[in-house]
Structure 1
């Protein structure tokens, strides 16, 4: 393994080294992991060297230790021990793997964001961070989180050349503590993965995709399906994801308790080919999630030609501002959300392929080659010595 890593480094020795620091990465599956992996692949294609420093076990299976070093898709992965909470994993060995970085890119606001900011006094590397929704995943401990955000996070943010916000809601939030150092770069999506694969005719079949975690509110999604199934026996829901803080057995019990075994199918840790086959039988995508950093999975659903019906969280509301074709509803009210899904089905029947083509067209704006170039521009500016950076137009010609 060490030899393979050395070979890759030798092949790309001329390019700057970008060290990505993220709490979970491949082989784990999720929105954050997908974003980092896709960005790394794009950077490698542009001649950069990349390294991902991450925790040495999956939060869904913390007792199984992963290899300390591995290459996946030409991405150098270094895994380090951690302790504490999965929301704030303590992993001080991160400092051992950043000394040769030309730039450090921290993903999410957690221990790594705070520790690397504090440690900049010693490591001195230029840094940027992508917010991925911050740490406001649930309303739990809201007062403490708000206090921490406005004090500690505000202070640590000073260490970063830019805070890259992956949604309008993030930009609004982080601009309050970082001002002009925030930049909106909405997440890229692999719009080719499920491209144009949804059913061509309107069907009462819904797909929801995401890790099995409490904030995804699959319980509410099941409550909505109970209402829909009572109205029409053709309604069906496919739940696709990987175990997180909810396990498969718990979800199966929730499905059985609502007598939905004929109307809900659970698909655990299946590959993209199997997901495509499921989407091919569906027309609608739904998410009851209370919190999203961006809404990446909704973009992937659009690329497939599925019409999304989304809970009214901040990220989804911001996404709908840009793409009014999307539909929002309050999934805390099963009848209201059921009405929205029924209305979405009716729209598909009435608007036909025109609506499908609009969804697919809108998703193409999130193609990774476009998004990666925006990150490359940020990196170039952050790695340029301060005195050599180009001044904003508004400041040119002014005398200091």
Structure 2
């Protein structure tokens, strides 16, 4: 079986889809199965092919943008594969090129939360949902919903939806376990710096805690996807948090693991998650999670057991939660860290990848 995993973003970019596509391709490759990756994006200037992690990675430029564009020679590339695994939250440009250039090749779709994570282009999304969603989904032999909420949403438009949650590199993030005494005032956020992640709200929370006499040490690390560094730095200066909040716009794995070993809490103000890979990775590293009470991540986080919920509204309720969190003793921190690791272990790619392999086989056996 030859599988081409088609993605709008890929390493060295860092984020949920990137890590899922990379790990999944590695874990499902093996005897009798070849998995390659096609990174299809308007941000690419020239076509190229290289090898990474033992996988062929094709870089395919797009004339247009991530919503509407033409990937030249994409059909010729895909023609040699038995199955396409399309990672297309927008159900636009990637799916459009699949339909235009390789409609005859069996395909499955991973949903990754769809495009509901922001209100941008709201009218276009409304029209797309009502006029195109059913017909676009009809092409796929399986729609692999990455969460319970995705399962419910996409089931409105197709009867081929099955829940197939993503995985994490559990062993890798075990290297980030705390090496010293726990300190619940030491926080970290790592992941994309995008608007829906609401890093600004996390910084405001640190200021709120400072004003109530609680000193938080926060590291914000990751790729600056939405060019937020300047505005975040201005916010930090305006709130006089220069000694409390540090920005690290990109962080290599070794440096990330070192930082994780020094920190007890992972915090995210994200208003929307398609799955929550970063949160599960943090839990694999034994971090107590501080996040919003939203699906699907509230399926991972249990208040007082492995994390806490915030509204990120600088409210009295939020302040009480921060006070409770930062007041945890070493015994309680250790118990919550162990509970976080147990939850994350369920999503280890070692077991999750087998589910994807089964879906691949079923898709090839199914009638289109």
Report the TM-score when normalising by structure 1: 0.84
CA distance in 2 between partners of 1:327 and 1:342 (Å): 11
Q: Decide which structure has greater helix share.
A: 1
What is the Cα deviation at residue 223 of structure 1? 0.6
CA distance in 1 between partners of 2:278 and 2:235 (Å): 23
Total equivalences in the alignment? 364
Say whether the 8 Å CA contact 2:63–2:71 is kept in structure 1.
no
CA pair 300-184 structure 1, distance change in 2 beyond 3 A: same
- From 105, 113, 118, the equivalent of 2:85 is 105
CA distance in 1 between partners of 2:126 and 2:210 (Å): 41
CA distance in 1 between partners of 2:46 and 2:262 (Å): 36
CA pair 248-189 structure 1, distance change in 2 beyond 3 A: same
Say whether the 8 Å CA contact 2:88–2:95 is kept in structure 1.
no
- From 257, 280, 285, the equivalent of 1:276 is 257
What is the Cα deviation at residue 83 of structure 1? 3.8
Equivalent residue number for residue 291 of structure 2: 310
Equivalent residue number for residue 201 of structure 1: 182
CA distance in 2 between partners of 1:167 and 1:321 (Å): 17
Say whether the 8 Å CA contact 2:193–2:223 is kept in structure 1.
yes
Equivalent residue number for residue 22 of structure 1: 7
Alpha carbon RMSD of aligned pairs, Å? 2.5
Say whether the 8 Å CA contact 1:55–1:91 is kept in structure 2.
no
What is the Cα deviation at residue 233 of structure 1? 5.1
Report the TM-score when normalising by structure 2: 0.91
CA distance in 1 between partners of 2:349 and 2:39 (Å): 22
Q: Any gaps of 5 or more consecutive residues in structure 2?
A: none
CA pair 119-348 structure 1, distance change in 2 beyond 3 A: farther
CA pair 280-354 structure 1, distance change in 2 beyond 3 A: same
- CA displacement, residues 165-185 of structure 1 (integer Å, 9 cap, x when unaligned): 111111111111113x11111
Is it true that 1:173 corresponds to 2:181 in the alignment? no
CA distance in 1 between partners of 2:121 and 2:234 (Å): 29
CA distance in 1 between partners of 2:48 and 2:363 (Å): 29
- From 338, 345, 360, the equivalent of 2:341 is 360
CA distance in 2 between partners of 1:154 and 1:303 (Å): 37
- From 187, 190, 207, the equivalent of 1:226 is 207
- CA displacement, residues 125-163 of structure 1 (integer Å, 9 cap, x when unaligned): 111000001111202344542342233111110111111
CA pair 46-243 structure 1, distance change in 2 beyond 3 A: farther
Say whether the 8 Å CA contact 1:22–1:54 is kept in structure 2.
yes
CA distance in 2 between partners of 1:141 and 1:247 (Å): 20
- From 245, 258, 262, the equivalent of 2:226 is 245
CA pair 172-46 structure 1, distance change in 2 beyond 3 A: farther
Q: Any gaps of 5 or more consecutive residues in structure 1?
A: 1-15, 388-400
- CA displacement, residues 334-367 of structure 1 (integer Å, 9 cap, x when unaligned): 5544432332333464624222211111111111
What is the Cα deviation at residue 234 of structure 1? 3.2
What is the Cα deviation at residue 72 of structure 1? 1.0
| More displaced 10-residue stretch of structure 1: 157-166 or 140-149 | 140-149
Say whether the 8 Å CA contact 2:303–2:309 is kept in structure 1.
no
What is the Cα deviation at residue 193 of structure 1? 1.9
What is the Cα deviation at residue 271 of structure 1? 0.8
1:303-382 residue pairs with structure 2 within 5 A?
Answer: 303-320=284-301, 325-333=306-314, 335-347=316-328, 349=330, 351-382=332-363
1:1-400 residue pairs with structure 2 within 5 A?
Answer: 16-55=1-40, 62=43, 65=45, 68-86=48-66, 88=67, 90-93=69-72, 94-110=74-90, 111-116=92-97, 118-119=99-100, 123-179=103-159, 181-195=160-174, 197-198=177-178, 199-232=180-213, 234-320=215-301, 325-333=306-314, 335-347=316-328, 349=330, 351-386=332-367
CA pair 322-367 structure 1, distance change in 2 beyond 3 A: farther
| More displaced 10-residue stretch of structure 1: 305-314 or 215-224 | 305-314
Secondary structure at 2:4 match in 1? strand
